[in-house]
Amino acid sequence: MGDDHLERVRAQFTRTAETYARLIRATQEQTLSSIVAMSRATSSDRVLDVACGPGFLSMAFAKHCADVVGFDATDAFIELARREAAQRGIRNVCFQHGDAEQLPFADGHFNIVSCRAAFHHFLRPARVLAEMMRVLETTGRIVVADLLGSEDPEQAKLHDHIEQLCDPTHVRALSISEFKRIFAAAGLRITAQRQGSIDYDLEEWISHGAPDDGAHREILSLMESCLADDRAGLRVRREGGRLRFSHHGAAFLLERPIETTP
């Protein structure tokens, strides 16, 4: 991902791994199960989960598939994932670390390649997608799930600024149209698509990035300023005296075009 950015990712998530692993978006069983179901996973499939974080999606796949590899840049996440898998007695999943732009796997080795909540951290998402395609067998499936940026440039700019104040490894939240352009340029077709939202208590969400006091105060001020006109596209509101907001997200099932015989 670029050496400097990759080191920033590792430093950030080494510092915040334990807190991140407790976030609802990382652990919500219904969401994990829906991604596995969307992939049409079978008991014979080999799965690679790119940027697996604490490994909860990898372990969800392991319930249904033959073998699963969780892959992440941050050793702290890998250790958390290994520990959790051992506690659950899951034996058909393993975890290893490295760079998503240089996956250490043979061409066509996996039937399914997934990536959840990570494309907004990639400097070159198209390059990561190309690597995911390289290690995927010809008839395999890719699942990409992530938060969405607004189609409105001003909303998207403010949203990204708020994200970067909380977590400096955030690069950019892609919009639906940007995802579709990247997929089309890679020669992938979208065979299923789902959209939804995840609701957050603002203070709980801020804790996952552990920003310094100055950044924390700026996030609060900016979110307060969004109450009247939703100028970041995050549906900021006050409930029970606390600020809450929503991330919009999407999941895509991607496949190569079906070859037809002339």
Tell me the pLDDT of the chain (262 aa) as tens digits.
Answer: 567 999 999 999 999 998 888 776 666 788 999 999 999 999 999 999 999 999 999 999 999 999 999 999 999 999 999 999 999 999 999 999 999 999 999 999 999 999 999 999 999 999 999 999 999 999 999 999 999 999 999 999 999 999 999 999 999 999 999 999 999 999 999 999 999 999 999 999 999 999 999 999 999 999 999 999 999 999 999 999 999 999 999 999 999 997 655 5
Q: Is the pTM of this model over 0.85?
A: yes
Residue 26 is predicted with a pLDDT of 61
72 neighbors 122 (Cβ within 8 angstroms): no
Count of alpha carbons within 13 angstroms of residue 190, beta-carbon side: 17
135 φ, ψ to 5°? -85, 5
Residue 20 is predicted with a pLDDT of 84
Count of alpha carbons within 13 angstroms of residue 250, beta-carbon side: 19
Beta strand pairing call for 46-50 and 110-116? parallel
CB burial string 115-153: b at 16+ within 10 A, e below: bbbbbbbbbebeebbebbbebbbeebbbbbbbbbbbeee
Residue 25 is predicted with a pLDDT of 63
Count of alpha carbons within 13 angstroms of residue 126, beta-carbon side: 9
Residue 29 is predicted with a pLDDT of 84
d(CA 220, CA 216): 6
Count of alpha carbons within 13 angstroms of residue 260, beta-carbon side: 2
Which residue ranges form the domains of the chain, and what is each CATH number? 3-149+169-199+248-255 (3.40.50.150)
